[in-house]
């Protein structure tokens, strides 16, 4: 497992505890050290808690990008049943950086759509590191329209560094694909529940990000630009990543305070990658509660409330005085 800079002490203590445990199993002569182990375990919990409740923007970004962090398909497997993946944009595009399909959530049919990163090198390339071509967004739109047609609620999971910046992406209308998705999602007559599970990278995130509720996992991030991009443009210095991350206010805590998102979903201590099962339980609970609330509304109410939500985004003054 990749160890992040700020996790070193935690891992050192974990190793120490593990050594003591195996030592006590191996040799009787060690005597009873269970008290000592309990003490250290308590210390570890406190340490993890202290470190992970005070993560700054750049540290959160590193957790959000952790190579072992659960991805969309990991959550689908643990939260839904009867998942039937659906492929293709019907216009010549496959769109592997976005996955989607129908599934059962409790007894309810849902359409689940999310960005998908790859775990090993081969899959990373196949998924283009979660950076979608227009085909991925068009596939997502097609699936959303299918859901709307059959009154099926939509759940989207955001996890992308951003929309892919490439020659072919431009030729096929990356801008148009993203714009059209927002334009369509705002008017869908079914509930749309959006959760940022990892990286919420700009337009590529928004392309499946217009919904009735926007939730974020505790250590996910959501931003108009990456800290690296921001540092190199505004500071002219690639090393100013930490300052850029702080300035952008990209953590779930920041965004809840700014009233851009509705809810933060707690992650297991040490981050979602430490315990997939527990992370999935947390997400499932939040999805269930929010979906339950949303299906109370009529289609007209949903559309109206969703419109008002996005209409009110932005902070400005009337200048005079």
Partner 1 sequence: MSWFDTFIEKTGIGKKVPKAEIIWTECKGCKEQIYIAEIEKNLKVCPNCEYHFRIDAKERISYLINPGTFEEHDQDLTSADPLKFKDQKKYKERLKSTEKKGYSHDALITGSGVLGDHAVELSIFEFNFMGGSMGSVVGEKITRSIERAIEKRNPLLIVSCSGGARMQEGIFSLMQMAKTASALRRLSEHKLPYISILTDPTTGGVSASFAMLGDVILAEPGALIGFAGPRVIEQTIQQKLPEGFQRAEFLLEHGLIDNVVHRKDMKQTVNKLLSLLKNTPIAEAVA
254-293: contacts with partner 1 (CB under 8 A): 255, 258, 260
Q: Give the binding range for partner 1 (CB under 8 A) out of 3-11, 98-106, 150-158, 246-254.
A: 246-254
b/e burial code for range 200-234 (CB count within 10 A of at least 16 → b): bbbbbbbbbbbbbbbbbbbbbbbbebbbbbbbbee
User: What six digits make up the tokens of 4?
Assistant: 């992040």
For residue 299, state whether it binds partner 1 (rule: CB under 8 A). no
For residue 317, state whether it binds partner 1 (rule: CB under 8 A). yes
Q: How many CB atoms lie within 10 A of CB 238?
A: 11
Minimum separation from the CB atom of position 297 to partner 1 (A): 18
For residue 154, state whether it binds partner 1 (rule: CB under 8 A). no
Out of 165, 238, 277, 289, name the contact with partner 1 by CB under 8 A: 165
User: What's the CA gap between 217 and 197, in Å, rounded?
Assistant: 5
Q: Give the binding range for partner 1 (CB under 8 A) out of 1-9, 61-69, 75-83, 164-172.
A: 164-172
For residue 316, state whether it binds partner 1 (rule: CB under 8 A). yes
Out of 9, 11, 289, 307, name the contact with partner 1 by CB under 8 A: 307
For residue 300, state whether it binds partner 1 (rule: CB under 8 A). no
Cβ closest to partner 1, residue 80 vs residue 164: 164
* Residue 85 phi, psi (nearest 5): -70, 140
Out of 160, 202, 220, 290, name the contact with partner 1 by CB under 8 A: 202
Burial of 142 (0-12, 13-18, 19+ CB in 10 A): middle
For residue 249, state whether it binds partner 1 (rule: CB under 8 A). yes
Q: For residue 2, give the DSSP letter.
A: P
Minimum separation from the CB atom of position 100 to partner 1 (A): 20
For residue 179, state whether it binds partner 1 (rule: CB under 8 A). yes
Query: How distant, in Å, are the alpha carbons of 76, 250, 303 from that of 157?
Result: 10, 17, 20
* Residue 174 phi, psi (nearest 5): -55, -45
For residue 180, state whether it binds partner 1 (rule: CB under 8 A). yes
For residue 183, state whether it binds partner 1 (rule: CB under 8 A). yes
CA 62 to chain CA mean position, Å: 13
User: What six digits make up the tokens of 247?
Assistant: 């300035």
Helices (H), 172-275: 174-185, 202-206, 227-230, 241-248, 252-257
Minimum separation from the CB atom of position 156 to partner 1 (A): 13
Q: List residues near partner 1 by CB under 8 A.
A: 163, 165-167, 169-176, 178-180, 182-184, 186-187, 202-203, 206, 209-210, 222-225, 229-230, 233-236, 243-244, 247-250, 255, 258, 260, 307, 310-311, 313-320
């Amino acid at each position: 497992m990749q160890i992040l800079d700020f996790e070193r002490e935690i891992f050192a203590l974990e190793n120490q505890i593990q050594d003591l445990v195996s030592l006590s199993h191996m040799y009787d002569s060690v005597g009873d050290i269970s008290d000592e182990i309990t003490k250290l375990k308590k210390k570890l919990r406190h340490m993890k808690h202290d470190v992970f409740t005070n993560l700054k923007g750049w540290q959160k970004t590193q957790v959000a990008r952790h190579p072992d962090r659960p991805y969309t398909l990991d959550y689908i497997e643990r939260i839904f049943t009867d998942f039937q993946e659906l492929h293709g944009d019907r216009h010549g595009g496959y769109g592997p950086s976005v996955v989607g399909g129908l599934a059962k959530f409790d007894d309810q049919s849902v359409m689940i759509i999310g960005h998908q990163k790859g775990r090993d090198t081969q899959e990373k390339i196949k998924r283009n590191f979660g950076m979608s071509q227009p085909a991925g967004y068009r596939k997502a739109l097609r699936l959303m329209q299918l859901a709307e047609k059959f009154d099926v609620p939509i759940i989207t999971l955001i996890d992308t560094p951003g929309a892919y910046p490439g020659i072919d992406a431009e030729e096929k209308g990356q801008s148009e694909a993203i714009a059209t998705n927002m334009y369509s999602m705002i008017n869908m007559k079914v509930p749309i529940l959006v959760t940022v599970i990892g990286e919420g990278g700009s337009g590529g995130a928004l392309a499946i990000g217009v919904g009735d509720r926007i939730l974020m996992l505790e250590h996910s991030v959501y931003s108009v630009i990456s800290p690296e991009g921001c540092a190199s443009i505004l500071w002219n210095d690639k090393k100013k990543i930490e300052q850029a991350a702080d300035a952008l206010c990209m953590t779930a805590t920041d965004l809840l305070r700014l009233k851009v998102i509705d809810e933060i979903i707690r992650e297991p201590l040490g981050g979602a990658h430490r315990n997939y099962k527990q992370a999935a339980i947390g997400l499932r609970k939040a999805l269930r509660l929010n979906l339950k609330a949303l299906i109370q509304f009529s289609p007209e109410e949903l559309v109206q409330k969703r419109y008002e939500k996005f209409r009110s985004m932005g902070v400005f003054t009337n200048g005079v005085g």
